[in-house]
Amino acid sequence: MSIRFRFEGHKYNIKGRFMNKDNSENIIMVSIRTAPVELYKILKMENLVASGGEAKFVIADGLVTVNGEIEIRKRKKIFPGDVVEFAGNRLQIALTES
């Protein structure tokens, strides 16, 4: 699924899962190999945005929360246990043992 919209002069083409039919949020487990990972890379890695540049725009525009608080730092370090929310998706970050 893909949605295109314009917010504060920027165009977005957001990919991903939005809301379930029962209006509950999607909870997506995201496994990372090394910690920390920059916030914009998480959105790009999970295909919630079309590119890293678009990820930086949606973060700067205040459309992403980390642990329940709006985050506008594109390079915010994300650690295992953090919860990232964007476009109706809740991403639970976990460390994968290699």
CB 25 within 8 A of CB 89: yes
Q: What is the pTM of this model?
A: 0.75
For 97, the token pair is 């043992």
**Does residue 91 have a pLDDT over 70?**
yes
Q: Strand 65-66 and strand 10-15: pairing? A: unpaired
Look up the CATH number of the domain holding residue 54: 3.10.290.10
Identify the helix (H) or strand (E) that includes residue 43. Answer: helix 39-45
% of the chain surpassing 90 pLDDT: 58
pLDDT, mean of residues 10-32: 59
> Between 27 and 84, whose confidence is greater?
84
Check residue 27 and give its pLDDT: 83
Q: How many distinct structural domains can be found in the chain?
A: 1
The per-residue pLDDT for range 35-63, each reduced to its tens digit, is: 999 999 999 999 999 999 999 999 999 99
Check residue 44 and give its pLDDT: 93
Give me the domain span that covers residue 27: 2-95
Q: Kindly list the distances between the CA atom of residue 23 and the CA atoms of 18, 26, 29, 85, in Å, as whole numbers in the listed order.
A: 9, 9, 19, 15
